Amino acid sequence: MTDIPLKCTCGEVKGIARSISPRTARRVICYCQDCQDFARKLDRADDILNAFGGTDIIQITPSQVEITHGKDRLRYLKLSEKGIYRWYTDCCKTPAGNMIGPKFPFLGIVHNFIAQNDAPNDIRGKILGPVRYSIMEKDIIKPLVTPPPEMPRAEHSADKFPLGLMIKIFTRLFLDTLSGKNKPNAYFKPDGTPISE
Ligand SMILES: [Zn+2]
Ligand SMILES: [Zn+2]
């Protein structure tokens, strides 16, 4: 179990993700259109997305994250009414956490918010090992550079959202809900409203 420092690009927002291990965190690359749109809305597609339009995310629970500095800089957007809460920092438009909602013990941390994520000293690689799932590959974009870089490898790859991963996430959601891992929650007030408008 390791604690991972979190930091937006400019450094105004800082936090910590606690007790990270392959058992408590899952590393996923998501190629879905929504993740791509989010990166473009923040005007940071260049450094959020890989050459194929993928977003490198670790899936953990809200109870693992504490925001220690600049909490008032957190904002969120939803790409559709029923869409997930996509948090980002107002200061430098760094993604700061994807969440289904206040009641769900699910939090996706995009790689840009992890302080030591640069290759070859990639803190996630050291703690979590290789990427476990590469999902929504139907939305992959063709790299503009030639020759194209090598596609990042994952233990499991899928065109859509694979059923196996869905079952794993829902089982975890169920167990983590029972044990209250949606709390404490740095992104929502106790009454379930987001901390920012
Ligand atoms: Zn910032
Ligand atoms: Zn996605």
**Whether the predicted pLDDT of 68 surpasses 80:** yes
Q: Which domain holds residue 45?
A: 2-140+149-178
pLDDT tens, residue by residue, 165-179? 999 999 999 999 999
* Ligand 1 centre distance from Cα of residue 67 (Å): 13
pLDDT of residue 143: 87
Instruction: Summarize the confidence of residues 130-154 as an average pLDDT.
Output: 91
Q: How confident is the model at residue 197 (pLDDT cuts 50, 70, 90)?
A: confident
How many structural domains comprise the chain? Answer: 1
Looking up residue 77, the CATH number of its domain turns out to be: 3.90.1590.10
* Ligand 2 centre distance from Cα of residue 75 (Å): 19
43 part of a folded domain: yes
Helices (DSSP H) in the chain: which residue ranges?
33-41, 45-48, 123-128, 163-178
Ligand nearest to C-alpha 84: 2
* Ligand 2 centre distance from Cα of residue 35 (Å): 4
Q: How confident is the model at residue 125 (pLDDT cuts 50, 70, 90)?
A: confident
What is the chain's mean pLDDT, rounded?
92
Distances in Å between the Cα of 170 and the Cα atoms of 39, 73, 104, 163, 175 are 26, 31, 10, 10, 9
DSSP E strand boundaries for 51-141 = 55-60, 65-69, 74-77, 85-89, 95-99, 107-110, 133-135
* Ligand 2 centre distance from Cα of residue 175 (Å): 23
Ligand nearest to C-alpha 73: 1
* Ligand 2 centre distance from Cα of residue 32 (Å): 4
186 part of a folded domain: no
pLDDT of residue 118: 64
pLDDT tens, residue by residue, 145-154? 888 889 989 9
114 part of a folded domain: yes
* Ligand 1 centre distance from Cα of residue 56 (Å): 19
188 part of a folded domain: no
pLDDT of residue 106: 95
Cα 173–Cα 83–Cα 9 angle in degrees, nearest 5: 85
pLDDT of residue 42: 98
128 part of a folded domain: yes
